[in-house]
């Protein structure tokens, strides 16, 4: 049983979740995101969720504020994107008293409704999962994905950037896993990442991913960026 199989409908997820704003990072259903947690506010958040439902919402900060150079801006006045993805802590390692290494496994996207007023050092949001019920259906829409074209572009991208990959493992991976994992790992900027997150379905997400890779290949052939 997958760690996220326990969630079968939107009502299985908490309507208020702690938020980890992180620029240039997204999470998608059943994809994983490793995190190195060391800021005191997020260490406290992690302690709290590990004693509860182990759910954390990943979301990107908004644009047009004074803290755009910060990976995770401080303060409740910093705007956030309207769409994020909630994940469950599926691995947890206490490195020392001031650092934890965790893995989040994506469960479901959400729309931000409003911010909960708390005395906690981290932010808590009221969210709605209603638009994303399909996220809970593993493999939904895989048959509509142009997998040969996706693999063709991926191979071209890896070759152009002189990157090695376990091609046998890539071939064995499901289309959903491959697309969502590549979207989480890909080295694109915040706007491109958000477009991948907000893609309506798996086919649209694959199309956006392929278009971004083809634009990069066409513009500079080998960008030196990495998929790792």
Q: DSSP class of residue 141?
A: T
Tokens of residue 21, six digits: 């704003």
So what's the pLDDT on residue 69?
Answer: 63
Q: Alpha-carbon torsion 17, 22, 27, 32, what sign?
A: negative
pLDDT for the residue 223 = 41
- pLDDT confidence of residue 227: 40
Q: What is the pLDDT of residue 117?
A: 92
Distance of alpha carbon 150 from alpha carbon 92, whole angstroms: 33
SS3 sequence, 34-86? EEEECCHHHHHHHHHHHCCCCEEEEECECCCCCCCCCCCCCCCCCCECCEEEE
Q: CA distances (Å), 104 to each of 27, 31, 75, 88, in order?
A: 8, 8, 23, 5
pLDDT value, residue 161: 82
Q: What is the pTM of this model?
A: 0.90
Per-position pLDDT tens, the chain of length 228 = 677 888 999 999 999 999 999 999 999 999 999 999 999 999 999 999 999 999 999 999 997 655 566 778 877 889 999 999 999 999 999 998 899 999 999 999 999 999 999 999 999 999 999 999 999 999 999 999 999 999 999 999 888 888 888 999 999 999 999 999 999 999 899 999 999 999 999 999 999 999 999 998 998 654 444 343
């Amino acid at each position: 049983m997958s760690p996220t199989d326990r969630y079968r409908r939107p009502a299985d997820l908490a309507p208020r979740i702690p938020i980890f704003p992180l620029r240039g990072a997204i999470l998608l259903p059943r994809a994983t995101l490793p995190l190195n947690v060391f800021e005191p506010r997020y260490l406290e958040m992690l302690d709290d969720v590990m004693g509860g439902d182990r759910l954390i919402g990943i979301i990107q900060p908004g644009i047009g504020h004074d803290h755009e150079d910060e990976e995770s801006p401080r303060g409740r006045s910093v705007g956030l994107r309207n769409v994020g993805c909630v994940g469950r802590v599926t691995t947890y390692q206490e490195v020392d008293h001031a650092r934890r290494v965790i893995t989040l496994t994506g469960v479901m996207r959400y729309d931000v409704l409003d911010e909960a007023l708390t005395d906690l050092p981290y932010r808590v949001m009221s969210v709605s999962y209603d638009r994303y019920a399909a996220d809970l259906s593993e493999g939904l829409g895989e048959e509509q994905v142009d997998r040969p074209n996706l693999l063709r572009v991926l191979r071209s991208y890896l070759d152009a950037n002189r990157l090695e990959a376990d091609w046998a493992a890539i071939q064995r991976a499901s289309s959903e896993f491959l697309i969502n994992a590549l979207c989480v790992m890909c080295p694109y900027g915040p706007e491109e990442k958000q477009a991948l997150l907000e893609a309506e379905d798996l086919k649209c997400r694959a199309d956006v991913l392929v278009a971004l890779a083809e634009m990069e290949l066409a513009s500079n052939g080998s960008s030196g960026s990495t998929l790792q």
